């Protein structure tokens, strides 16, 4: 009988969960993939060899069943409200099931008094996990995913516009990681807990890029000129509500607006890029242009066409007529927990300390 552990992957149909599952299976692990529903994505995971578990991640009874017979798990809260609820359920079930090791997907920005409720919840969840005497933890805290830029790829492909609220066009403020590279770091820690227990990793792409660099990379992949347009936060809320495939709830949009503010403040550039993808994930981090080319290969509808151009113009008009969100109202209507003196990440000394450059001695320890 195999002695390899069984590993639970939550959010297995999501951006990182799909790749964590696939890469674990490639390395011979037994994987139980927790999905919300069966569909083409779960079929793909099943065909690759995963055991599919359908359930609600916010139901403790489902999470308990999902963890039966499992030794390790990937904790990935969906980008949705109530992440502390999800994380608490996960932690309780992991504790009861006496898991030996978990790998959490946290946030680069995670800090104690952050203006984003989602981020404060991630911060608290990380502390709760550290308190567990039963399982060890590896934290993976990526910044702004490369995938976020791909939400506006349709408009770049058909109208030559890369529109996001990222501030000045020439400031290098993010080294975007691919979903696959983030997954490689998660998988390394799941496969070898002894080497990675207690560690925190910040996977990034290879290069710090400006909005102009992102637009140029999209342009090279698309074979057309793409121009960056800095839009207002108000316009971003309209676009996130109006355009598929994002389909974000109002609650999520209110938090994404705070992350865009962090982007403009340069928080994702603090000591980025890192070499965690190479040193931990064991692969060269993928450049942004290659990520775009891969997405284009999966989306033939992004090739130049009259229909595509027409649909982009309709999308543009839909954005223009969609009402903007009053972000403060969204939070107060939902009774979001408020704190009196919120602080962005760089205003928090502990956060700055935790994002300091990694010392050569620490790096040597990581790789031995
Ligand atoms: N995007 C970024 O730039 C960024 C940066 C740093 C950290 N993060 C963190 O990344 C995490 C999200 O990871 P991700 O992007 O890999 O995930 P994701 O793509 O948001 O996937 C979430 C998955 O969970 C499923 N799901 C949602 N609600 C569920 C429920 N109640 N029960 C069962 N399944 C449910 C969704 O199913 P369906 O697809 O069927 O709806 C989806 O497949 C968040 O915690 C966020 O804080 C994101």
In this predicted model, what pLDDT tens digit does every residue of 128-161 receive, in sequence order?
Answer: 998 888 899 999 999 999 999 998 999 999 999 9
CATH homologous superfamily of 6-145+178-201 equals NAD(P)-binding Rossmann-like Domain (3.40.50.720)
Given ligand 1 and candidates 11, 107, 176, which is best to mutate, with the most ligand atoms within 8 Å of its CB? Answer: 11
CA 52, CA 38: separation in Å to the nearest integer?
Answer: 8
Ligand 1 interacting residues, C-beta cut-off 6 A: 11, 13-17, 36-37, 56-58, 76-80, 83, 105, 107-108, 142, 144-145, 148
219 or 301: which carries more pLDDT confidence? 219
The dihedral formed by the CA atoms of 67, 68, 73 and 74, expressed in degrees to the nearest 10: -30
146-175+206-269+288-339 carries CATH number 3.90.25: yes
3-class secondary-structure state, position 73: strand
Phi, psi of 52 (to 5 degrees): -95, 130
Query: Model confidence at 359, in pLDDT bands (50, 70, 90)?
Result: low
String of DSSP letters for 15-70: HHHHHHHHHHHHTT-EEEEEESS-SHHHHHHHHHTPEEEE--TT-HHHHHHHTTT-
Q: Do residues 39 and 13 make contact, with C-beta atoms less than 8 angstroms apart? A: yes
The domain locations on the chain are 6-145+178-201, 146-175+206-269+288-339
3-state secondary structure 252-313: HHHHHHHHHHHHHHCHHHCCCCCCHHHHCCCCCCCCHHHHHHHHHHHCHHHCCCHHHHHHHH
Determine the average pLDDT of the residues in 70-91: 93
Query: Model confidence at 296, in pLDDT bands (50, 70, 90)?
Result: very high
What tokens does 238 get? Answer: 């309209």
């Amino acid at each position: 009988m195999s002695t390899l552990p069984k590993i639970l992957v939550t959010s297995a149909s999501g951006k990182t969960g799909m790749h964590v599952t696939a890469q674990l299976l490639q390395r011979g692990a037994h994987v139980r993939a927790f999905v919300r529903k069966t569909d083409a994505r779960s079929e793909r995971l099943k065909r690759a060899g995963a055991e599919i578990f359908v359930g609600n991640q916010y139901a403790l009874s489902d999470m308990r069943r999902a963890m039966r017979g499992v030794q390790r798990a990937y904790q990935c809260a969906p980008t949705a409200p109530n992440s502390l609820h999800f994380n608490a359920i996960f932690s309780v079930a992991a504790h009861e099931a006496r898991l030996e090791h978990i790998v959490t997907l946290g946030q680069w920005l995670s800090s104690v008094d952050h203006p984003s409720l989602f981020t404060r919840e991630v911060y608290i969840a990380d502390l709760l996990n550290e308190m567990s005497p039963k399982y060890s933890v590896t934290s993976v805290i990526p910044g702004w995913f490369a995938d976020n830029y791909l939400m506006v790829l349709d408009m770049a492909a058909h109208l030559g516009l890369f529109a996001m609220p990222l501030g000045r066009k020439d400031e290098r403020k993010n080294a975007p990681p691919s979903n696959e590279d983030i997954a490689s770091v998660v998988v390394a820690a799941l496969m070898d807990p002894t080497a990675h227990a207690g560690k925190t990793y910040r996977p990034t792409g290879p290069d710090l890029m400006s909005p102009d660099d992102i637009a140029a990379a999209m342009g090279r992949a698309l074979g057309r000129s793409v121009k960056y347009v800095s839009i207002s936060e108000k316009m971003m809320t309209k676009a996130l509500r109006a355009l598929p495939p994002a389909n974000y709830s109002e609650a999520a949009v209110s938090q994404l607006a705070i992350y865009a503010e962090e982007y403009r403040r340069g928080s994702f550039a603090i000591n980025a890029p890192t070499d965690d993808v190479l040193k931990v994930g064991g692969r060269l981090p993928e450049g942004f242009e290659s990520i775009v080319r891969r997405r284009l290969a999966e989306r033939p509808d992004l090739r130049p066409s009259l229909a595509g151009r027409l649909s982009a113009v309709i999308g543009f008009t839909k954005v223009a007529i969609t009402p903007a969100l009053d972000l403060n109202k969204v939070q107060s209507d939902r009774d979001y927990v408020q704190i009196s003196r919120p602080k962005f990440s760089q205003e928090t000394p502990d956060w700055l300390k935790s994002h300091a450059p990694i010392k050569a001695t620490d790096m040597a320890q990581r790789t031995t």
